[in-house]
Amino acid sequence: MEREKLIEILNFITTVECSDEQKKALLEMAANTITVDKLSELVGNNDGKETEQDKASESNEVGIVKFTKKEISQMPTYFRKTFRTAGCNAHVLRRKSGKNSWNYMIRYRRDGYNIVVSSNNLEEAKRKFIEKLHTADQLKKQQEFAKVTGTPITPSPLLKQQTEINGVPTTFNKFANYYLEKFHKRKVCEETYRVTLSNYKNHVLPHFGDMPLTSITADKCQELLDKLIAADKIRTEENVFSMLNMLFKAAVKHTVMKHNPIDMVFHTKHEREHGKALTKDEEKLLLSSTEGTPYQTMFAIGLYTGLRPNEYKTAYIEDGFIVANNSKRKNGKVEQKKIPITPMLAPYVKDGDSLSFYRLEQIRHKFNGILPNHKLYDLRTTFYTRCMECGVAEAAIKKYVGHTLGGLADTYADLGDDFLRREGQKLCY
């Protein structure tokens, strides 16, 4: 009976009009005892009689999904060798899931594995497929270990992986989101958290995906750091190294990892470049080049208040002061700092003015066009330098730029507006 059924299926495949790759995919499905009716449904063939179901599925396609070298490098070692060396592929079924949308189902059936994923986005389906490969690889290792040690195992090609331990995720992306949201966010200021998330989404997540934490090796981490160094992203590499170290240390403390793979990584700490103050001639060039435009006011405020670029948008004028939010305060705490309108700033702003800033990308672009050897943050360095040169009290400078006074001064000192105005008058050169 099975032989007759198989012959019937093979005869069907030889008569249907489709490409060689599609026939190959159909043959593999046939090996899984798929029925002729089901095959007919997949290719939209119904003895020449078009039905409503045929119309809905007439553009279904069965083919081979191609993985890039980068995607193959993200697979476990066994599958990496299989896909790269043995030339093995997975099959993809493209089906209509709506009027203008598709669903992609990727399947791999070989060596006892039966892995199936689906998504309405092909790239997302491929990402899920790679995640499932890691799950399958990890479970295979668990089964092999259980056989060697004589531990009873459930006879299944894919056991359900434990994705949480005491409510803590055990896969990379889920654990990273869990830790960053519940713990890290409370320790840093809003801007630092934003930069951390940006580095995570742009560099870390694409490299690790949602691999099981226990599958991550030092070599996998080294690969990412070396790639960033090769791309001359030195500061990003520093940030990613610190982020991974933080995440894996947290995973060890949460008992979802035994060891921190970063401990085995080769990493050279690079000396970061500090800001460089503008010369007085460069100050004049910056302001004269933007005379008569809103940029002149923006650069004057940057030069003569020492605001961080990400604080510009919060600035306003009140009672002779430029007031802005201190972006370095943590735990969602809002703290404002006040910088008096000094003799250097007075020609550009006055009480009653309404401050408005362009987007930082626009401001940086304009600044770099005038002073290509500097960065926008150098305006803050320039302000700090000029205050020291003009003899402004250190306590006043710290209050202007939003630093803590240090020691007991933070507890007991309460510097009044008159003191800040008086010291601000010294900024004249």
Note the pLDDT of residue 194.
87
Report the number of distinct structural domains present in the chain: 3
Q: Is residue 38 part of a domain?
A: yes
DSSP class of 180? I
Domain region containing 111: 2-149
> Domain for residue 274, yes or no?
no
> Residues 289, 259: one domain?
no
- Domain assignment of residue 157, yes or no: no
Contacts of residue 365, defined as CB under 8 A and 6 or more positions apart, other chains included, come to none
User: Are 9 and 144 in a shared domain?
Assistant: yes
Residue 429 lies in a domain: no
pLDDT at 17 (0 to 100): 55
Q: What are the tokens at 418?
A: 């008159």
Q: What CATH number has the domain bearing residue 409? A: 1.10.443.10
Mark whether 371 and 328 lie in a shared domain.
yes
Secondary element (H or E) of residue 305: helix 294-305
**Mean pLDDT of the chain, nearest integer:** 81
The verdict on 91 and 130 lying in the same domain is yes
- Residues 207 and 309 placed together within one structural domain of the fold: no
Name the nearest CA neighbour of 322 among 195, 427, 190, 410.
Answer: 427
Residues 12 and 142 in one domain: yes
Q: What is the CATH number of the domain that holds 211?
A: 1.10.150.130
Residue 15 resides in a domain: yes
Strand blocks (E) in 36-152: 61-65, 90-96, 102-110, 113-119
Q: Are residues 235 and 307 in the same domain?
A: no
Q: What confidence category does residue 156 fall into, taking pLDDT thresholds of 50, 70 and 90?
A: very low
More confident residue, 80 or 56: 80
Q: pLDDT tens digits, residue range 329-365?
A: 665 567 889 999 999 999 999 888 999 999 999 999 9
Domain boundary among 97, 120, 149: 149
- Looking at the structure, tell me whether residues 120 and 210 fall in a common domain: no
pLDDT tens readout for residues 252-298: 999 889 899 999 998 877 665 667 999 999 999 999 999 999 999 99
pLDDT band at 6 (very low <50, low <70, confident <90, very high): low
| pLDDT at residue 4, as a whole number | 57
Burial class for 352, CB neighbours closer than 10 Å (0-12, 13-18, 19+): exposed
More confident residue, 32 or 92: 92
Helices 360-370/294-305 angle, 10° precision: 90
For 34-38, 74-78, 183-187, which range has the lowest pLDDT when averaged over its residues? 34-38
Say which DSSP state 213 is in.
G
Q: What is the pTM of this model?
A: 0.47
Question: Quick one: 366 and 332 in the same domain?
Answer: yes
Q: Are residues 253 and 378 in the same domain?
A: no
Report yes or no on 105 lying in a domain: yes
Stronger pLDDT, 415 or 155, i.e. the higher one: 415
Go through 128-160 and write b for each residue having 16 or more CB atoms within 10 A of its CB, e for each that does not: bbbbbbbbbbbbbeebeeeeeeeeeeeeeeebe
Among 101-110, 150-159, 380-389, the range of highest mean pLDDT: 380-389
pLDDT of residue 58: 47
Rg (the chain; Cα; Å): 31
pLDDT tens-digit series, residues 220-242? 999 999 999 999 888 899 999 99
At residue 422, does pLDDT exceed 90?
yes
Listed residues 264, 291, 312: the one ending a domain? 264
Within-domain flag for 32: yes
Q: Which of the pair, 231 or 412, is modelled with greater confidence?
A: 231
Give the whole-number percent of the chain exceeding pLDDT 90. Answer: 42
Contact partners, residue 21, CB within 8 Å, separation at least 6: 63, 64
User: Which of 17-21, 81-85, 89-93 is modeled with the greatest confidence?
Assistant: 89-93
Please give the Cα distance from 158 to 143 (Å, whole number): 10
Which pair of tokens denotes residue 360?
A: 């930082």
| Whether residue 181 is found in the same domain as residue 145 | no
- Nearest Cα neighbor of 90 from 76, 74, 110, 70 is 110
In a domain? residue 81? yes
User: CB under 8 Å to 358, separation ≥6 — which residues?
Assistant: 294, 295, 298
7-54 pLDDT per residue, tens: 555 555 555 555 566 556 656 655 554 544 444 444 444 444 444 444
Residues 404 and 315 in one domain: yes
> What's the rounded Cα separation, in Å, for the pair 217 and 267?
15
